[in-house]
């Protein structure tokens, strides 16, 4: 296939997928629409992917949610918009770069833009007839469900479940809004305006209905629970707060202590204290909050205490774009904390990775007595899609604490650097820890010879850690000429782009563990004639890490750092130019 045909071919073959975008200011119920429609589509037997971009404000601004609906599996955003529902005047200017000649806009012409070519839908008038303007967004839900030929009982069931706690009057009003939405859609479809947007429901729709629908924050939380997490401390900071909220909501169910600390310094010290006492703790934070935790990271290194740190990246520096996405904190996690001590950094690529890697983070933190990072970002945290159920039968909680004996040495020098970790009160030994350099018992020392041996002891863990690295995933032909390299949340975006490039000479190498780098990394890079690194940051932090540990300079980089993730169709165009 000629390079110039890549993008056009992708757009023409993507007829099994429709891109629906709802736009408007905060407070217009966009999140409610997203929550309902993603569930309605899945229960209707269609695959769904949803992601949002929003401004840092409670009211006002201009936000949008994209929902991709498809017969085939969809796991990444696209730039194009097939159906747009603007809920206020700000939506069209905000999304103008994504609107094309084929975009169908459903809205109130007078209210949104009298000059724009819009299918005029009287959301407000119908809502007022039902009894309140607040029902307007649910009228839109009914229209969309009807366009995609979802049986009406499905959205009605979702409405009853979602609004039941708000009383009978609100529930009945929303039920009426769904029914009126179906009536409006019927008229629009008869006019021929929307018939072409319907997606065929696949033969395996029952399998889709039985899958789970999660966002990234929920997946991290469930992974933590499966890893035995029974303590979480955090100071709220988007986009990490969803993990604290989820674990707090289910604290009683899973015997978890959830503590909203007064600040991030307290949060990490609380979690370290929990591990010292025998619990399995984690902190969840973002870049600015983690900056305050760095002294605690060093404390974990010196005390040789496990800790799991969920670091959800957003655009910096400082407050930056607090509700946007970026992969800008890889180096922050890698070099955080003063002094030299080992760590592990995971970078999940999707919902399944978020679950399994978070679960594994607890086991390896316990095993090696080190900080383990789970590095995510706003895009990944806030995205929803349907996925297969997790295999809980394979989830073992591995515990490495030991009952102490008399004359117990917390930091006993040994060949692998991993001393037996005791818990205060379990056994006969005294469990001493100290943030100063210490002897084998844990008592403060300034013996310089012992200092050298203790540093060497801690660093000896790296050998065992390197034996437990997760190999990068190679997608595509093993005999490649061009190798696309990435880490973290760009995984499914690149994978879909690569599938549509359909060139056997191009393969994709994805890292879900970014430190320590797997031993085979250099071999993969040397085999390619051209390496292209794709990252959501400005300085290609992963390229620098690759050069540091392999000596290979990556010449070709595709970078994005405006606060949004890559779009599949956008990335195809960028790859065309480089390939």
Burial of 250 (0-12, 13-18, 19+ CB in 10 A): middle
Residue 395: its H or E element: none
* Sequence-ordered list of residues with C-beta below 8 angstroms from that of 230, at least 6 positions apart, any chain: 254, 255, 256, 257, 279, 280, 281
Residue 11 lies in a domain: no
Rounded to an integer, the average pLDDT of 298-311 is 98
Distance (Å, whole) CA 83 – CA 80: 9
* Sequence-ordered list of residues with C-beta below 8 angstroms from that of 444, at least 6 positions apart, any chain: 434, 436, 437, 438
Residue 5 lies in a domain: no
- CA–CA distance from 313 to each of 265, 349, 417, 492 (Å)? 18, 14, 32, 18
Tell me which of 193, 210, 227 is where a domain ends: 210
* Sequence-ordered list of residues with C-beta below 8 angstroms from that of 479, at least 6 positions apart, any chain: none
Residue 8 lies in a domain: no
With a cut of 80, say whether residue 147 has pLDDT above it. yes
Residue 311 sits in a domain whose CATH number is 3.40.50.970
**516 preceded by a cis bond (ω within 30 of 0):** yes
Tens-digit pLDDT profile for residues 229-242: 999 999 999 999 99
For tokens 């309902």, name the residue.
36
The pLDDT confidence band at residue 58, using thresholds 50, 70 and 90, is confident
Q: Which candidate, 417, 419, 420, places its Cα nearest to that of 464?
A: 417
The answer to whether residues 437 and 478 belong to one domain is: no
With a cut of 60, say whether residue 9 has pLDDT above it. no
Number of domains in the chain: 4
Tell me which of 394, 420, 451 is where a domain ends: 394
Residue 2 lies in a domain: no
For the beta carbon of residue 456, count every other beta carbon within 10 angstroms. 11
415: domain range?
Answer: 401-468
For the beta carbon of residue 509, count every other beta carbon within 10 angstroms. 24
Residue 520 lies in a domain: yes
Distance (Å, whole) CA 85 – CA 18: 14
CA angle 456, 457, 459 (to 5 degrees): 65
The answer to whether residues 241 and 202 belong to one domain is: no
Structure tokens at 116: 């724009």
Residue 568 lies in a domain: yes
Phi, psi of 552 (to 5 degrees): -95, 125
With a cut of 70, say whether residue 3 has pLDDT above it. no
Residue 64 sits in a domain whose CATH number is 3.40.920.10
Mean pLDDT of the chain: 94
Tens-digit pLDDT profile for residues 176-199: 999 999 999 988 887 766 766 667
Rounded to an integer, the average pLDDT of 17-44 is 92
Tell me which of 413, 438, 468 is where a domain ends: 468
């Amino acid at each position: 296939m000629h390079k110039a045909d890549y993008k056009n071919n992708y757009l023409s073959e993507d007829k099994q997928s429709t891109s629906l975008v709802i736009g408007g200011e905060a407070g217009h119920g966009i999140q409610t629409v997203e929550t309902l429609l993603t569930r309605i589509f899945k229960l209707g037997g269609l695959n769904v992917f949803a992601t949002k971009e929003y401004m840092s404000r409670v009211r006002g601004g201009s936000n949008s949610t994209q929902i991709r609906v498809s017969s085939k599996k969809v796991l990444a955003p696209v730039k194009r918009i097939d159906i747009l529902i603007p809920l206020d005047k700000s939506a069209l200017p905000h999304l103008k770069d994504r609107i094309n000649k084929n975009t169908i806009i459903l809205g109130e012409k007078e209210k949104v833009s009298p000059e724009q070519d819009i299918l005029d839908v009287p959301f407000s008038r119908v809502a007022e007839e039902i009894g309140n303007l607040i029902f307007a967004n649910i009228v839109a839900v009914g229209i969309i469900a009807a366009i995609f030929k979802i049986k009406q009982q499905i959205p009605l069931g979702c409405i009853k479940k979602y609004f039941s706690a708000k009383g009978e009057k609100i529930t009945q009003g929303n039920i009426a809004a769904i029914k009126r939405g179906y009536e409006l859609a019927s008229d629009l479809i008869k006019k021929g305006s929307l018939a072409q947007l319907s997606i065929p429901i696949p033969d395996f729709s029952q399998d889709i209905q039985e899958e789970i629908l999660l966002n990234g924050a929920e997946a991290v939380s469930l992974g933590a629970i499966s890893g035995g997490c029974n303590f979480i401390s955090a100071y709220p900071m988007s986009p990490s707060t969803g993990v604290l909220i989820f674990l707090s909501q289910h604290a009683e169910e899973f015997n978890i202590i959830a503590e909203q600390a007064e600040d991030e310094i307290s949060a990490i010290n609380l979690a370290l204290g929990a591990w010292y006492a025998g619990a399995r703790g984690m902190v969840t934070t973002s870049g600015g909050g983690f900056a305050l935790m760095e002294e605690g990271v060093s404390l974990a290194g010196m005390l040789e205490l496990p800790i799991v740190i969920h670091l959800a990246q957003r655009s910096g520096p400082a407050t930056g774009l607090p509700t946007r996405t970026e992969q800008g904190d890889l180096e922050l996690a890698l070099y955080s904390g003063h002094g030299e001590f080992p760590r592990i950094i995971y970078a999940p690529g999707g919902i399944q990775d978020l679950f399994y890697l978070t679960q594994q983070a607890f086991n390896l933190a316990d095993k090696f007595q080190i900080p383990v990072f789970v590095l995510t970002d706003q895009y990944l945290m806030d995205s929803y899609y349907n996925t297969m159920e997790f295999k809980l039968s394979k989830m073992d909680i591995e515990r490495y604490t030991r009952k102490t004996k008399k004359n117990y040495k917390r930091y006993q020098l040994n060949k692998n650097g991993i001393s037996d970790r005791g818990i205060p009160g379990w056994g006969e030994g005294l469990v001493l820890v100290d943030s100063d350099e210490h002897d084998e018992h844990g008592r403060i020392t300034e013996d310089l010879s012992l200092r050298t041996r203790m540093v060497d002891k801690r660093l000896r863990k790296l050998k065992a850690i390197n034996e437990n690295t997760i190999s990068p995933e190679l997608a595509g032909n093993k005999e490649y000429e061009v190798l696309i390299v990435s880490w973290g949340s760009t995984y499914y975006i690149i994978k879909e782009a690569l599938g549509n490039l359909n060139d056997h000479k191009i393969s994709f190498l994805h890292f879900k563990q970014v430190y320590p780098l797997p031993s085979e990394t250099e071999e993969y890079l040397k085999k390619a004639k051209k390496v292209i690194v794709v990252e959501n940051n400005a300085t290609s932090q992963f390229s620098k890490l690759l050069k540091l540990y392999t000596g290979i300079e990556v010449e070709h980089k595709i970078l994005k750092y405006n606060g949004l993730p890559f779009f599949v169709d956008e990335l195809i165009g960028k790859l065309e130019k480089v390939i």
